[in-house]
Amino acid sequence: MAICEQLEDPKIAKGIVKRDVIRVVTPGTLIETNLLDEDKNNYIMAIYKEGIYFGLSVCDVSTGDFYATQITETNNFSRLLDEISRYAPAELIVNDFMYKSLDEIKQIKERFSLYISVQDNNCFTKSLERLEDEYSFVDNNNKTVINLKEKKLLISAVNGLIEYLNKTQKIKLEHINKIKIYNTEKYMSLDINARRNLEVTEKMRDKTKKGTLLWVLDKTSTSMGGRYLRRWLNDPLIDVIEINKRLDAVKELKEDIILKGDITELLKKVYDIERLIGKISYGNANARDMISLKNSISQLPKIKSILSNTKSKLLVELYNNLDELKDVYDLIDKSIVEDPPIGVKDGGIIKKGYSEEIDHLKSITTDGKKWIIDLEAKEKEKTGIKNLKVGYNKVFGYFIEVTKSYLSQVPNYFIRKQTLANCERYITEELKKLEEETLGAEVKLIELEYNVFLEIRKLLSEQIIRIQKAAEIVSTLDVICSFATVAENQNYVMPIVDNSGEISIHNGRHPVIEKMLPSGSFVENDTYLDKDEDRLSIITGPNMAGKSTYMRQVALITLMAQVRIFCTRILCKNRGCR
């Protein structure tokens, strides 16, 4: 779908007003809140194929999230399918060589419900110079990636996706400024079949959330946190140090109910900052969006104050890195009224005291209306016409209306303007002068308020990177609070995660099934596996005996441990539960 708009002001344009396409809307580039799932990212993915290898880039245009990787290992196409399954994009952009790989495209179409379009190979260039000027390339720890020249497939995929976004969106998207480079081996491998059978984020039968691991674990307070949680479930870590750092943070919040409760209450007052920033970047954020952003930012100093007393490494990092954005809050607070209209061209947006010129025009319009009231009272007294009134309509402007029964009392300085069935309408030199001043001020005021609003929006767009960092910290904190809440409600314990290669589960419970059964009715069980003599367990029993439930339970408990949430008892040999 193409969106067209006028490119000129009809009042100024000569002849036919210029019009053009300002944006092409595709499944992967939606930004409209009412068309998006607030707890789910809407990704668009670009795949560049060269030989038997793939470059891959993924973006959520509504939030600015951008990821890229390349697949040059064995089982390349299987790994590609796993990545498509990880992100579940709404739209796929491929180069010509990929599109001509008919068997691979056929498998993608059979397995996924998405829109596929092919782009010319010229879009998938290996040029790095422009990218480095406009984007920062970082890894999962936000450290700058310096070996980009070695990642030619990845760069081609990034160029292809950015070129497509530029062609369809027609503007520079300021909120897309950071590209996260990752290695598929950084995460625990979950192939497409494992994701589907374990029902991590959606039911295999009806694609709904209820009855999934996500359904059990999602107690987030913000839309951003909901999306972040889904991302963590899709990307389980294998870095033991990072896993335990997150687990320690969950432990601190689980053990301090007051701390967790205070943070959760503040998070409930935070709107979707990521998508608000996306709207500001697009240039379609209205004044109410800015008030939502201001109200969200107002919670940051309170959140930081609460985090100041935390002890776990991750929570301390969040405290140190959280920007309170006081200048951004002050800008919106000083400039935008608390309850603005929806439209940005209707006036009534800018607060008194922010612009002297706006204040002056407002005083003219206010005083002008008072002058009109005073004029009506003065003319009634002067002429003796008791039902004389001063009125206004858009066609004739201001007028003095006199019913026909009083026409004999109309003074000579009244100039007839309009004759109606029951009355006559007049104008006077004084009323004409008031009309010019008042209406002229109203038109100028609305135009000036709109221009000042655009300036404020531009100033906010210059702070996008800072606001995005704060939003990421809030999202992380929201997920940790969610995990702590679930751990407390479900009586989960902290797993011990190390590199021993053992899985030892005591009194394990299937996290989803136990939630759907009456409390205490799920029978706890044990599991022990390692990478030496106990790599394999043979499970026997009749149909419906629970074999599949048991196997999925082990997988989900392990997944939960590596996603950094407490779970039913999992530990390593010769070490106790804690």
For tokens 């929201």, name the residue.
478
- The domain ranges of the chain are 31-186, 218-325+463-489, 356-454, 502-571
Q: What DSSP line would sit under 401-450, residue for residue? A: EEEGGGGGG--TTPEEEEE-SSEEEEE-HHHHHHHHHHHHHHHHHHHHHH
Residues in the chain: 578
As given in the structure block, the two tokens for residue 183 are 């290695």
> Is residue 405 classed exposed, middle or buried when 0-12, 13-18 and 19+ CB atoms within 10 A define those classes?
exposed
CA atoms within 13 A on the CB side of 262: 15
Neighbours of 578 (CB within 10 A): 9
In tens, the pLDDT along 7-57 reads 777 767 777 888 888 889 999 999 988 889 999 999 999 999 999 999 999
As given in the structure block, the two tokens for residue 109 are 């179409």
Contact between residue 401 and residue 428 where contact means Cβ atoms under 8 Å apart: no
What DSSP element (H or E) covers 525?
A: strand 525-530
pTM, two decimal places: 0.86
Contact between residue 400 and residue 379 where contact means Cβ atoms under 8 Å apart: yes
Domain 218-325+463-489, CATH number (from 2.40.10.10, 1.10.1420.10, 3.40.50.1820, 1.10.3720.10): 1.10.1420.10
- C-alpha–C-alpha distance, residues 8 and 18, integer Å: 6
- C-alpha–C-alpha distance, residues 266 and 289, integer Å: 19
For the chain, which residues score pLDDT lower than 70?
11, 564, 567-578
Beta strands in 327-427, from DSSP E residues, in sequence order:
389-393, 397-403, 415-419, 423-427
Contact between residue 183 and residue 69 where contact means Cβ atoms under 8 Å apart: yes
SS3 label, residue 511: coil
Q: What is the pLDDT of residue 360?
A: 83
Q: What is the pLDDT of residue 568?
A: 55
> What's the N-to-C CA distance of the chain in angstroms?
56
As given in the structure block, the two tokens for residue 314 are 């991750």
Neighbours of 558 (CB within 10 A): 20
Q: What is the pLDDT of residue 450?
A: 95
Fold of the CATH domain 356-454: MutS, DNA mismatch repair protein; Chain A, domain 3 (1.10.1420)
In tens, the pLDDT along 294-341 reads 999 999 999 999 999 999 999 999 999 999 999 999 999 999 999 999
**Which residues have CB under 8 Å from 161's CB, separation 6+?**
44, 45, 46, 57, 58, 59, 93
Domain 31-186 annotated CATH 1.20.1730.10: no
Asked whether this chain's domains 218-325+463-489 and 356-454 adopt the same fold, the reply is yes
Q: How far is CA 312 from CA 248, 256, 317, in A?
A: 6, 12, 9
Contact between residue 352 and residue 335 where contact means Cβ atoms under 8 Å apart: no
Q: How far is CA 23 from CA 3, 30, 60, 167, in A?
A: 5, 11, 16, 8
In tens, the pLDDT along 455-496 reads 999 999 999 999 999 999 999 999 999 999 999 999 999 998
What DSSP element (H or E) covers 179?
A: strand 178-181
- C-alpha–C-alpha distance, residues 137 and 158, integer Å: 11
CA atoms within 13 A on the CB side of 383: 23
